[in-house]
Amino acid sequence: MDEHTQDPREIAFLHSGEFPRGDFDSKDHQPDESSEEHLHDESSSIKEVDFFSPKSQPYDDIGQVRTTIIVGSSGFNDNLGMVNLCHGTSSDDGDDKTKTKTQIIRLKLELERLHEENHKLRHLLDEISQSYNDLQRRVLLVRQTQVEGLHKQHEDTTQAGSSQALEDRRPKHMNNEISATTLKRLSPEDEDDRDDMHRGSPKTPRLDQNKSANHEEQQNPHDQLPFRKARVSVRARSDATTVNDGCQWRKYGQKMAKGNPCPRAYYRCTMAIGCPVRKQVQRCAEDTTILTTTYEGNHNHPLPPSATAMAATTSAAAAMLLSGSSTSNIHQTLSSPSAASSSSFYHNFPYTSTIATLSASAPFPTITLDLTNPPRPLQPPQQFLSQYGPAAFLPNANQIRSINNNNNNNNAQLLLPNLLGPQAALPRDMVDSVRAAIAMDPNFTAALAAAISNIIGGGNNDNNDINNNKVDGASSNGDSPQLPQSCTTFSTN
DNA sequence: CGTCTTTGACCAGCGC
DNA sequence: GCGCTGGTCAAAGACG
């Protein structure tokens, strides 16, 4: 609630110069000579953060007025000269009361207009988030199709007519557009998530998802592959019963698994009614200090920043997994020279041999991120990002790279320790590994945007608080800049 | 009293 | 068809 208690790391990030807001402060917001401005310097900077919050409605003090000036100078609105004029000169003693009232009325009108503009901007942000979400799905689908095509080509080299088969699978326009039918099949995944939410009963999702998935795959298995059920396992050392990943979970079952004396616990996400995300937590039989958390499903609600770290990590892993048509294909992609010579995503992933392993025997395609071992020392995350960044095919790769290569390159570090929650005693290598995985994620900037908008919009700085997703309209309403598909996504429809 | 955890029972998938 | 296993349900108890 109180902006002053905002996490200093996040504040530092907001003013680090990486986010456009930094430009506002450094360039557009010219230092004002008026002593009145100086008097309100501190309050105005905070109001600026609070601009998107619906709570900041009154605009009844000077600080609020100055807020509009700041935002206006950012380029969203250039019609604020009037406000400046009205506010800047107080030395004229000849102003009568009527003139002052007129000015106040004009100011109020202007502020109402700005408020409306604020709503429009928020709507625009939502649309951008939506577009990004769709775009990411297309990229995922295209990437999967490419890998599958390569695999098919490899298989068909000994068979006649392989080129024809490949041509059938890879339409010429593949890289630029997805067919309308394919896109139509993409949307039901969201529909299903919404269905889960409306079903009320948590009983149905898994079984229904499996049934519908099987049915769809029978119809056209290739089109459905990106949204099969995938699981992401995260192995980390922890003494706690479960890893604090920022989400709120409810335990709904426990089972003794075969071959492991430690019971396996089943959790369901309770941050939103009907959220289909589940996780399994089990200690490693060989080393009980290692906790294996397996995520499955796709959150249907906004995530607090504290949850986006793990969500983005697992999302990146799931994307890596699902961009192959099967686990065997992935293995082949990883090992096949022909695949390696292509622009294979996996080939460029330096952590493959250290933290990411794929299970072909599991009932569902599963990728395991082993955070108990350090990454390869010669390729620290920063170097990896600049050298292996997903710029080749990710729409926002440049953003990722600019964020991570900038001189103020500790943005991820700024966020990560906080996002991983109060369980702060995390090994350095785990932090690095997670950071690298996060940065690999095409959702990373979206997650960042969600976190920032949460800070800006909510003013609720309790980022670890699960109530974060119901703070106010700016961050929790249906069209909020929610992190698109940001969690352990890619569950089957 | 509401929420969460525990735990035995139930169900579906899979292999033989 | 049968048994095994994983996953889930739901009643009962614990807890704040």
Please give the residue that has the higher pLDDT: either A466 or A237: A237
pLDDT at res. A243: 75
pLDDT score of A266: 92
- Whether A123 is in a domain gets the answer yes
CA of A264 to C1' of B6 (A): 13
Tokens of A38: 């100086």
Give the CA A487 to C1' C12 distance in Å: 34
Q: Which region among A293-297, A334-338, A367-371, A374-378 has the lowest average model confidence (pLDDT)?
A: A334-338
Share of chain A above pLDDT 70, in %: 27
A76 in contact with nucleic chain B (CB within 7 A): no
Q: Is pLDDT at A292 greater than 70 in this prediction?
A: yes
A270 touches strand B (CB under 7 A): yes
CA of A248: nucleotide with nearest C1':
B4
Q: Tell which of A89, A121, A146 closes a domain.
A: A146
A242 touches strand B (CB under 7 A): no
- Judge if A239 and A136 occupy the same domain: no
Q: Is the CB of A467 under 7 A from strand B?
A: no
Q: What six digits make up the tokens of A31?
A: 């230092």
Same domain, A262 and A364: yes
| Same structural domain, A257 and A366 | yes
Residue A244: CATH number of its domain: 2.20.25.80
Q: Are A445 and A396 in contact (CB under 8 A)?
A: yes
Would you say residue A309 lies in a domain?
yes
Higher pLDDT, A230 or A167: A230
Phi, psi angle pair for A14, to nearest 5°: -60, -30
- State the average pLDDT over residues A112-141: 76
User: Gap from A250 CA to B9 C1', in Å?
Assistant: 20
Rounded CA–C1' distance between A263 and C13, in angstroms: 20
Among A23, A21, A22, A41, smallest CA distance to A31 is for: A41
Q: Residues contacting strand C at CB < 7 A?
A: A 201-204, 206, 252-253, 255-259, 264, 266, 268, 278, 280, 363
Give me the pLDDT at residue A69, please: 34
Comparing every residue's Cα with the C1' atom of nucleotide B3, the nearest one is A250
Residues 6+ apart with CB under 8 A from A4: A46
Most confident of A124-133, A158-167, A415-424, A479-488: A124-133
Find how far residue A1's CA is from the centre of its chain.
23
Which residue did the predictor score with more confidence, A442 or A166? A442
Last residue of a domain, one of A88, A121, A146: A146
Whether residue A241 sits in one domain with residue A122: no
Rounded-to-integer distance, Cα A400 and Cα A395, Å: 10
The CA–C1' separation of A307 and C12, in angstroms, is 33
Listed ranges A138-152, A185-199, A362-376, A389-403; the one with the highest mean pLDDT: A362-376
Q: Answer whether any strand B atom is within 7 A of the Cβ of A363.
A: yes
Per the domain annotation, does A60 fall within a domain?
no
Same domain (yes/no): A136, A265? no
pLDDT value, residue A451: 44
Residue A303 within any structural domain of the chain:
yes
> Which protein residue has its CA closest to C1' of C5?
A258
Q: What is the dihedral of CA A82, A88, A91, A93, to 10 degrees?
A: 30
Q: Model pTM?
A: 0.41
Mean pLDDT of A16-21: 36
Q: Nucleotides on strand B with an atom closer than 7 A to protein CB?
A: 4-9, 12-14
Specify which residue's alpha carbon is closest to the C1' of nucleotide C6.
A257
Distance A258 CA to C6 C1' (A): 9
**pLDDT of amino acid A193:** 40
Q: How far is CA A69 from the centre of its chain?
A: 31
Same domain, A242 and A362: yes
Which whole number is the average pLDDT over A194-199?
37
A239 and A357 together in one domain: yes
* Domain-embedded: residue A292: yes
Mean pLDDT within A362-385 = 56
Count of Cβ atoms closer than 10 Å to residue A168 Cβ: 9
What's the distance, Cα to Cα, between the start and end of chain A in Å? 38
Q: What angle do CA A394, A399, A246 make, to 5 degrees?
A: 90
Is residue A198 predicted with pLDDT exceeding 60?
no
Q: Give the highest mean pLDDT range of A124-138, A209-223, A367-381, A400-414.
A: A124-138
Q: Does the pLDDT value for residue A441 go beyond 60?
A: no
Contact A399, A449 (CB under 8 A): no
Q: What angle do CA A368, A374, A375 make, to 5 degrees?
A: 75
**CA of A308 vs C1' of B5, distance in Å?**
27
Q: Which two three-digit tokens encode residue A217?
A: 């795959």
Answer with the one of A146, A176, A206 that is the final residue of a domain. Answer: A146
Domain assignment of residue A361, given as a range: 231-322+352-371
pLDDT at A435: 55
**pLDDT tens digits along A48-94:** 333 333 343 333 333 333 333 333 333 334 343 333 444 444 445 56
- pLDDT over 60 (residue A375): no
Instruction: Report chain A's mean pLDDT, rounded to a whole number.
Output: 51
Residues A138 and A235 in one domain: no
**A256 CB less than 7 Å from any atom of strand B:** no
Closest nucleotide to A251's CA, by C1' atom?
Answer: B5
Distance in Å from C11's C1' to A49's CA comes to 49
More confident residue, A8 or A95: A95
* Residue–nucleotide distance: A278 CA to B7 C1' (Å): 19
For the CA of A470 and the C1' of C16, the distance in angstroms is 24
Work out the angle between the directed axes of helices A97-156 and A444-458 (0-180°, nearest 10). 160
Report how many domains make up chain A. 2
Residues A247 and A365 in one domain: yes
